[in-house]
Amino acid sequence: MKVLHVVASINRDVGGPAVTVPALAAALAAQGVETTVATLDYPVHGPQASAGGARLASLPAPALARALRGWSPAFARQVGELARQRADIVHGHGLWMFPNLYARQGALAAGRPLVISPRGMLDDWSLRRSRARKGVAWRLFEADNLAAAKLLHATSDAEARAIRKAGCRQPIAVVPNGVDVPAAGSSPARNVLERAHPELAGRRWLLFLSRLHPKKGVLELVRAWAALEQGFPDWQLIVAGPELDRHGEDVRSLAGALGIAGRVTFPGVLSGDAKECALAHAGLLVLPTHSENFGVVVAEALARGTPVVTTRAAPWQVIEEQHCGWWIDVGEKALRAALQGALRSKPEALKAMGERGRSLVDERYSWAGAACAMRDAYAWLLGAGQRPDCVHTLGA
């Protein structure tokens, strides 16, 4: 079986599909699927993620691609050639970008079935953002892209419902993203971050680790922390992640205006040992998101034994069911109340939550399991085997 994945970017600072698509491709390759990842390279957004044993077909993003959401005739030609030569299936990731159009064009021209992973971009919150621009893309190519798909992929039941709400009637494979579970005791020491940020020494860490974007609820987090921080002098808020839309300036300005600049650490993008250190040594991870099709950082934190506070806009009811975190309403009021309760928890109670979270991820969210389910869905689409349990059809 040969699968071509087409994604706008796998540059580190973009986050989301830029992280999960190469990881899925690598896991598929490890299971014997001949896998190619076609993408554009935007060095300004950091290095490209590794795709393991998958073949990487990457072209530099020219100026017009950077200005016009991935518009690149050269990339369109490359996708078309790869679809003919190296694919039984073309799998496009994301919406609203020209590479999504190229995936459909390449699949149809080569006579290959098209799979689309919307990657959360059909959620209500996402659809409300940049409505006019998305309306243009919908009329130009996105409606036709979705109509051409033979199979859609959702990373959660909540995302599958959003796909159905958007009017899509094709079969949907519900396959969560995976996460790597590190070996116990393998995390770098706290001083990896403390050397660069001395204010972290001797304090417990409340960690936000995601894009600094309005969708992620960072402003609500800073306001909630401002209302609580005097009662928790042994905690320090860390706000880490890439800034793609200058939203970080708004966050830092708010912290200054509220008089808590010294109680918030902004380390920028964390990767490698610095990211591992933050996830492993945080007392809590908080993701007060307004919309999330999966929320990879939630799984990453749980895999490292760190309990989580996140919202009902993320599909993580299981952390409430398994008692490894807090699953709360969206908004500053609910966030402030949850954080107050979480920060008052005894260290041993948070440690027990984290241990349950690690067991949960180990059992349900491995990349090997995700790749196995996706491979079975591909095989069914190609007529080789019965419909797997992860694939849901209307009326079934």
Q: What is the DSSP string of 183-228?
A: PTT-SPPTHHHHTT-GGGTTSEEEEEES--SGGGTHHHHHHHHHHH
- Residue of 10, 36, 17 whose CA lies nearest to 25: 36
Give pTM, 2 decimals. Answer: 0.87
Q: Which two tokens stand for residue 42?
A: 């935007």
Q: Are 106 and 6 in contact (CB under 8 A)?
A: yes
Same domain, 73 and 174: yes
Same domain, 102 and 237: no
Same domain, 320 and 378: no
Same domain, 241 and 168: no
What lies within 8 Å, CB to CB, of 353 at 6+ separation is 307, 323, 324, 325
Could you give the CA distance from residue 318 to residue 314 in angstroms, rounded to a whole number? 11
Neighbours of 46 (CB within 10 A): 18
pLDDT attached to residue 243: 86
Angle between the 332-344 and 218-228 helix axes, to the nearest 10 degrees? 50
Q: Are 64 and 31 in contact (CB under 8 A)?
A: no
Same domain, 103 and 132: yes
Same domain, 37 and 125: yes
Same domain, 163 and 271: no
Q: Please report whether residue 269 resides in a domain.
A: yes
Q: Are 38 and 82 in contact (CB under 8 A)?
A: yes
Q: Please report whether residue 388 resides in a domain.
A: yes
pLDDT attached to residue 63: 92
Could you give the CA distance from residue 208 to residue 315 in angstroms, rounded to a whole number? 18
**Residues in the chain with pLDDT < 50?**
none
Q: Please report whether residue 241 resides in a domain.
A: yes
Q: Please report whether residue 305 resides in a domain.
A: yes
Could you give the CA distance from residue 167 to residue 284 in angstroms, rounded to a whole number? 38
Same domain, 107 and 129: yes
Q: Please report whether residue 185 resides in a domain.
A: no
Same domain, 359 and 269: yes
What lies within 8 Å, CB to CB, of 252 at 6+ separation is 261, 266
pLDDT attached to residue 15: 82
pLDDT attached to residue 75: 98
Q: Please report whether residue 111 resides in a domain.
A: yes
Domain containing 240 equals 191-364
Could you give the CA distance from residue 201 to residue 260 in angstroms, rounded to a whole number? 18
Could you give the CA distance from residue 396 to residue 309 in angstroms, rounded to a whole number? 34
Q: Which two tokens stand for residue 321?
A: 């069911």
Same domain, 74 and 172: yes
Same domain, 256 and 147: no
Neighbours of 2 (CB within 10 A): 15
pLDDT attached to residue 13: 87
Amino acid at site 361: V
CATH number for position 146: 3.40.50.2000
What 3-state class would DSSP assign to 85? helix
Tens digit of pLDDT for each residue in 112-133? 999 999 998 998 888 888 888 8
The alpha carbon dihedral of 304, 366, 310, 354 has a sign of negative
Q: Please report whether residue 358 resides in a domain.
A: yes
* Location of structure tokens 């001797």: 202
What 3-state class would DSSP assign to 366? coil
pLDDT attached to residue 23: 95
Tens digit of pLDDT for each residue in 214-271? 999 999 999 999 999 999 999 999 999 998 778 999 999 999 999 999 999 999 999 9
Same domain, 258 and 290: yes
What region, left, alpha or beta, does residue 337 occupy, with left being phi > 0 and alpha being psi -120 to 50 degrees?
Answer: alpha
Domain count, the chain: 2
In SS3 terms, 296-343 reads as HHHHHHHHCCCCEEEECCCCCHHHHHCCCEEEECCCHHHHHHHHHHHH
Q: Please report whether residue 371 resides in a domain.
A: yes
